[in-house]
Amino acid sequence: MTHRSPLLTLAAVAIFFAAMLTADFLVHPSAGSATAGAPSTTPPSPTSPSPISSASPAATPTQPASTPATSRPITSPAASATKRAYQDQFPHKVVYAGRSEDGHLAIAVAVLGDRAAAYICDGRSREAWLRGTVDGDSLRLTSRQGYRLTAELDDGRLEGEVRGDGRHWKFEIRPAEKPAGLYRAKGSTTTVGWIRLADGSVVGVATGADGTSEAAPPLGSDDEAQVDGQTVQATPVNGDDEI
Amino acid sequence: MATAESAATPPTAQPTRIGPVLVAMSIGAVVSIGLGLFGRLHHPTGVAINLAGFSSGLAVKTWLTTAAFLFAIVQLVTGMAIFGRIPLKGAWLGPVHRWSGRVAVLLVTPVAVHCLYALGFADFSTRALIHSILGCLFFGAFVCKMLVLTRDDAPGWVLPVLGGLVFSLLAALFATAAVWFFVYRGFTF
């Protein structure tokens, strides 16, 4: 004698599972903003199929995911970039710096080998240090507070988006030539991050031991700054730094 | 229909067979490996469908998992009672065990889909790697248990072992994700 109710349970779970997954595949480009309440114009930049995934039958459903996205004009650059994306490679050591498209955030991403570190800040109170890895021509980084940065190489530029705190920012930033780049300094209790942009301007945020953030102290041309009442030397951040 | 009740009377004169259990385990293993492969090969999107009203997708998942874990504790208690390990009796044990299990798995399914679709099989830290492996194992173990439940001729030790395995996996998943979230992000919604 057999019982059928566990099979029904199993079938119900399988159907529910499949339905959720299908919905994700169909709606995904705008779905993430359902909780964020942000406008749903997110390009699925990290979803361009990699040679590995397209070779596997399990990953073939990724194709439909990009289909609805092609109707969005915003994604066409990413789509056209897919062809040469395979040839794009990160330099062994590089730092990208720039601003988000809306100008709200300064963003710096440092890559060393297959490790990546990033810093985002608005120069007033919002900041996050992110860590992650390089996967071919794309990056994925996360911060402790839940910020996520995904990006991929597009003709030498880094194109992607930052999500977190219920918002998201898109960016396209270029390699930074020194003295532009990402800097960090630690005082007795305060940690400061600065992004020096290509035009020489500096954006930074300082966070104290109690977790409150404020605009960073000025970063001198000698990379020195006053932190916690002392003069400290800011150091360039590398992709493999423990931040 | 009476799954839990039938399990409550394992010592029947019926001879037991391990073959169907092995088949169920094989199917469960295939499910686990399949989920792992999908998570590994599908390029994570970072975003997926979510419920409104929470601060982030992670918060939704944290609370769904927490709720599922509470139901899983009900599962553990009723399961142990069904096998006479704790002195609880009553016709309600079976239905409560079944429905708490269904609710629990219903709660974690969207979490798992979000994990697989948005985050993928992750190995950027030991916690993420363990969580990814356990997540795949959980659904394999669940499938295996559901399949074994359909048989009366499984050896008596199989169901408690599988039930304990499913519960332990869920508890570990809860610890490596939801508890981690509460510790780092605070008790937020």
Radius of gyration of chain B (CA): 18
Listed by number, the residues of chain B in 77-136 with a beta carbon closer than 8 Å to a beta carbon of chain A are 98, 101-102, 105-106, 109-110, 112-114, 116-118, 124
Domain of B24 in residue numbering reads as 17-46+73-181
Instruction: Map residue B105 onto helix, strand or coil.
Output: helix
What is the set of domains in chain A, with CATH numbers? 5-85 (no CATH), 88-243 (2.40.160)
Contact yes or no for A217/A123 (Cβ under 8 A): no
* Residue B54 counted as domain residue: no
Contact yes or no for A158/A116 (Cβ under 8 A): no
Is pLDDT above 80 for B139? yes
What angle (nearest 5°) sits at the alpha carbon of residue B11, between those of residues B7 and B17?
A: 80
Q: What is the DSSP string of A11-57?
A: HHHHHHHHHHHHHHHHHHHHHTHHHH---S----GGGSPPHHHHHSG
Which residue's entry shows tokens 């295939």?
Answer: B30
Distance of alpha carbon A172 from alpha carbon B157, whole angstroms:
59
A25 interaction partners in chain B (CB closer than 8 Å): 117
Q: Supply the ipTM of this predicted assembly.
A: 0.82
* Residue B11 counted as domain residue: no
Query: What average pLDDT does this structure show over B16-39?
Result: 92
A35 inside 8 A of chain B by CB: yes
B150 interaction partners in chain A (CB closer than 8 Å): 2-4, 6-7
Cβ contact, residue pair A35, B102, below 8 Å:
no
Q: How far apart are the first and last CA of chain A?
A: 61
* Residue B100 counted as domain residue: yes
Query: What average pLDDT does this structure show over A59-85?
Result: 37
Is pLDDT above 80 for B182? no
B180 inside 8 A of chain A by CB: no
Of A20, A145, A146, the CB nearest to B110: A20
* Residue B188 counted as domain residue: no
Mutate to test the interface with A, among B1, B32, B38, B43 (most CBs of A within 10 A): B43
Q: How confident is the model at residue A149 (pLDDT cuts 50, 70, 90)?
A: very high
* Helix segments in chain B, DSSP class H: 3-8, 19-41, 57-82, 93-114, 126-149, 158-174, 180-185
B16 inside 8 A of chain A by CB: no
* Residue B6 counted as domain residue: no
Mutate to test the interface with B, among A1, A8, A13 (most CBs of B within 10 A): A13
Copy the structure tokens of residue B56. 């982030």
Is pLDDT above 90 for A67? no
Distance of alpha carbon A35 from alpha carbon B114, whole angstroms:
13
Contact yes or no for B91/B4 (Cβ under 8 A): no
Is pLDDT above 80 for B81? yes
Instruction: Map residue A146 onto helix, strand or coil.
Output: coil
Distance of alpha carbon A164 from alpha carbon A58, whole angstroms:
30
* Helix segments in chain A, DSSP class H: 5-31, 33-36, 51-55, 62-69, 76-85
Q: How confident is the model at residue A28 (pLDDT cuts 50, 70, 90)?
A: low
Instruction: Say how many domains are in chain B.
Output: 1
Q: What is the DSSP string of B59-85?
A: HHHHHHHHHHHHHHHHHHHHHHHHTTS
Is pLDDT above 60 for A140? yes
Within 10 A of A150 (CB to CB), how many other CB atoms are there?
23
Q: For the whole prediction, is pTM greater than 0.80? A: no
What is the 8-class DSSP label of residue B48?
Answer: -
* Residue B189 counted as domain residue: no
Report the percentage of chain B scoring pLDDT > 90: 46
* Residue B120 counted as domain residue: yes
* Residue B135 counted as domain residue: yes
Distance of alpha carbon B133 from alpha carbon B35, whole angstroms:
10
| pLDDT tens by residue, B53-80 | 555 667 788 888 999 999 999 999 999 9
Distance of alpha carbon A234 from alpha carbon A178, whole angstroms:
14
Contact yes or no for A243/A131 (Cβ under 8 A): yes
Q: How confident is the model at residue A89 (pLDDT cuts 50, 70, 90)?
A: confident
